[in-house]
Amino acid sequence: MVAFISLNKTYKSEMKSPLKNYIYFDHSATTPVLPEVVKEINTCFTDFFGNASEPHMPGIKAKEILERSRESMARTLGASPEEIIFTGSGTESDNLAIFGIAGAYRKKGNHIITSAIEHPAIHLPLEKLSGSGFEVTYIPVDKYGIIDPEDVKKAVTDDTILVSIMHANNILGTIQPIREIGSFLQKKRIIFHTDAVQAFCKIKTSVNDLNVDLLSVSGHKIYGPKGVGALYIREGTKIMPQLLGGGHENGIRSATENIPGIAGLAKAAELGQKRLAEKSSKIVEIRDHIKNNVLKNIDDVRFNGHPTLRIPGNCNFSFKYIEGEAIVLRLDQAGIGVSSGSACSSSSGKPSGTLAALGLTEEESQGSIRITLGFENTIEEADYFLEVLPGIIADLRKISPLYKNPGIS
């Protein structure tokens, strides 16, 4: 554990054992679970284990927790409780939105619009639909990873039944002009879905301000549990269920409800709203401190994404001549956890399609790392990162065949 001790300081981390001295900068991959959320979950496991569909006392108590959680989730999104469907993940919410709308509105049209930089939980369902008679238009992004609402307007045809554009990108953190796109689509009466998995509890996410008809969220990105998510579905929007069975969640998502997970998600969302108001500026300060010092102290580095239109905690850099994966491993040895590209795709070893969509070369994409801060991170942790990073980059460049080492001919 010596590696976690800087040249002249040790850093106190708020992480709990066994990660006591570890600096966690990968909050877009997943977050720790807040103690208040763990308490809520545990109470459900011990005291409210009933099946919420049963009419006896344990069932009624479980149902009460379920409906209270639904009301709480609805409040955080500015929705009505009947418009919230609990699911098993952000991925499931996205799949339900895409396949559910495609199935329900197939007779009306077969055209769907999305962006070039969506998460695979959107792109892969759309790929599947395009193999079965649907047409999909992919809107490009500018050099910051932002789409132009005019491009969406131009892409709409009489056959367009759905537009799905993410609120904030998982790799770059860039925020899309959802409200503006939504206002246009509302007038056209075209259904609009946004994947808000990376935006929820990091920036304001009100379904009416955003003018969306469907919105996906996930528990484990907001200091809640894994394996639970929610889909907001505006009243009056038809959806074809994808899980068939006992008719739970108003017949839209059959499966006995995961009461501990749902209660944990709702608690995390409620606490997340408070944190959003209180802690965002501190996270922005640490992010900018990291960004400014990396750009100042290291050569041949590019900051990816928009300078300000991004979620508070995201920094994405491309370091020339080296592999992001190698930087991640070296930082891990130094006690710092970051990600190369996106956590959902880094195991594939393929360069990120999102970075390619910005116009980065394959080499630049390969050399990228993503730092995503959480509210428990401190400026001291950022300083430790800034202290160890230049040495790691220099070491890796020394052994890179792409790098012209001074003095070596």
Q: Does 27 engage in binding with ligand PLP (CB under 6 A)? A: no
Shortest distance (Å) from residue 249 CB to ligand PLP? 17
Minimum Å distance from CB 19 to ligand PLP? 20
Cβ closest to ligand PLP, residue 79 vs residue 217 = 217
Stretch 321-360: interaction string toward ligand PLP, x if CB under 6 A? -----------------------x----------------
Nearest approach, Cβ of residue 146 and ligand PLP (Å)? 15
26 binds ligand PLP (CB under 6 A): no
Report the Cα–Cα distance between both ends of the chain, in Å, rounded: 39
- Of 195 and 323, which has the nearer Cβ to ligand PLP? 195
* CB nearer to ligand PLP: pick between 28 and 72: 28
Phi, psi values for residue 112, rounded to 5°: -130, 140
91 lines the binding site for ligand PLP (CB under 6 A): yes
User: Which lies closer to ligand PLP via its Cβ, residue 110 or residue 339?
Assistant: 339
> 160: which strand partners?
111
The nearest distance, CB 119 to ligand PLP, in angstroms, is: 4
Name the residue whose CB lies closest to ligand PLP.
90
Of 218, 258, 273, 345, the residue at the interface with ligand PLP (CB under 6 A) is: 218
* Shortest Å, Cβ 325 to ligand PLP: 18
Task: Note whether 317 and 173 are within 8 A (CB).
Answer: no
Half-sphere exposure of 302 (CA within 13 A, CB side): 22
- Determine the Cα–Cα distance for residues 269 and 86; give it in Å rounded to an integer: 13
The Cα–Cα gap between 385 and 363 comes to 24
Coil, strand or helix at 286 = helix
Nearer to ligand PLP, 170 or 237 (CB): 170
Site size with ligand PLP, rule: CB under 6 A? 15
Helix (H) or strand (E) holding 182: helix 178-188
- Cβ contact 164:114 at 8 Å: yes
Separation between Cα atoms, residue 349 and residue 352, nearest integer Å: 9
Please answer whether residues 28 and 197 qualify as being in contact, where contact means their C-beta atoms are separated by less than 8 angstroms.
no
- What string of DSSP letters covers 47-64? H--S-TT-SSHHHHHHHH
Distance CA 24, CA 91 (A): 24
Residues in region 163-202 near ligand PLP by CB under 6 A: 166, 170, 195, 197-198
Q: Is 44 a catalytic residue?
A: no
Query: Min. distance of Cβ 351 from ligand PLP in angstroms?
Result: 17
The residue among 386, 353, 349, 350 whose CA lies nearest residue 371 is 386
CB 93 within 8 A of CB 229: yes
State yes or no: cis peptide before 351, omega within 30 of 0. no
Options 63, 111, 119, 330; binder of ligand PLP; rule CB under 6 A: 119
- Cβ atoms of 114 and 104 within 8 Å: the answer is no
Shortest distance in whole angstroms from residue 75 CB to ligand PLP: 21
Helices (H), 78-139: 90-104, 120-130
- Cβ distance to ligand PLP smaller for residue 276 or 322: 276
Q: Compare residues 95 and 365 and give the one whose CB is closer to ligand PLP.
A: 95
Instruction: Check binding of 229 to ligand PLP (CB under 6 A).
Output: yes
Give the separation between CA 84 and CA 384, rounded to whole angstroms. Answer: 42
Which residue among 44, 201, 315, 344 is the active-site one?
Answer: 344
Interacting span for ligand PLP (CB under 6 A) from 8-16, 90-98, 178-186, 350-358: 90-98
Residues that bind ligand PLP (CB under 6 A): 89-91, 94, 119, 121, 166, 170, 195, 197-198, 218, 220, 229, 344
Q: Which residues are catalytic?
A: 344
